[in-house]
């Protein structure tokens, strides 16, 4: 029986990952082309050239999303973390999620500082745009804390069936988008790139924002169909 179920389980874990790999390959190609631009390569921080910060920021984003895919899918279709760590499984996953997410933001910030002043625009304009991006991002994190909860934002519905019976959230910023986390939350990565006027930072912010939608299409949307049935809408 195990030999029959294992291939099926593996297919479920890998569901949508062909799209993930193909889209990521195209995005990496775009990053390679961008990394050759003089404006992207200009500057340094703490002894590291901007192009190195550029690839560090990209790598952290890729690691983060692969980490989420692996943990979500192996838990949803095999309860791997729960079997290994018991009730601590979600806490350990969430800790890794938060650390990688924070590192993702810090890497973009460091890149923007390293590559600062490469956007040919007035500082006042760039600062205004940064504040415009910051407002919905802050409102998003407030709405998560107030109406949604960070446990749900981290994907506890993959671990605890009780959360799968909770209603979808339609308050705060979630009134405007079923996927507010990705639509508005990732604007936080544009803020340092705009504030410091960094071409490299803008490139990586764009990469992050496109890549999170790849995660949605290849990992989260299929998972939501499995968890919530015919309604693929996300509770965020």
pLDDT digits (tens, 9 = 90+) for 15-40: 999 999 999 999 999 999 999 999 99
pLDDT digits (tens, 9 = 90+) for 95-127: 999 999 999 999 999 999 999 999 999 999 999
For the entire predicted model, the pTM comes to: 0.92
Residue 235's pLDDT band, with cuts at 50, 70 and 90, is: very low
Task: State yes or no: pLDDT of 211 exceeds 80.
Answer: yes
CA distances from residue 156 to 92, 144, 153, 197 in whole angstroms, order as listed: 12, 14, 8, 37
Name 44's bridge partners: 49
């Amino acid at each position: 029986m195990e030999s029959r179920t294992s291939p099926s389980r593996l297919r479920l874990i890998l569901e949508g990952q062909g799209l993930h790999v193909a889209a990521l390959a195209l995005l990496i190609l775009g990053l390679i082309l961008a990394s050759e631009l003089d404006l992207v390569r200009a500057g340094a921080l703490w002894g590291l050239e901007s192009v190195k910060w550029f690839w560090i920021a990209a790598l952290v984003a890729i690691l983060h999303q692969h980490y989420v895919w692996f943990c979500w899918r192996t838990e949803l279709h095999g309860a791997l973390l729960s079997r290994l760590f018991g009730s601590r499984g979600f806490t350990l996953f969430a800790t890794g999620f938060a650390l990688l997410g924070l590192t993702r933001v810090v890497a973009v910030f460091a890149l923007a500082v390293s590559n600062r002043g490469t956007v040919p625009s007035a500082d006042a304009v760039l600062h205004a745009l940064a504040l415009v991006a910051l407002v919905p991002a802050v409102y998003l994190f407030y709405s998560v804390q107030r109406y949604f909860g960070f446990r749900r934002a981290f994907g506890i519905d993959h671990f605890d069936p009780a959360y799968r019976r909770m209603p979808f959230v339609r308050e705060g910023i979630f009134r405007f988008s079923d996927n507010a986390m990705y639509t508005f939350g990732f604007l936080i990565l544009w803020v340092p790139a705009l504030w410091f006027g960094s071409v490299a930072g803008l490139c990586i912010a764009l990469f992050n924002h496109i890549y999170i939608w790849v995660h949605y299409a290849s990992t989260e949307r299929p998972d939501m169909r499995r968890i919530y049935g015919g309604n693929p809408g996300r509770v965020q």
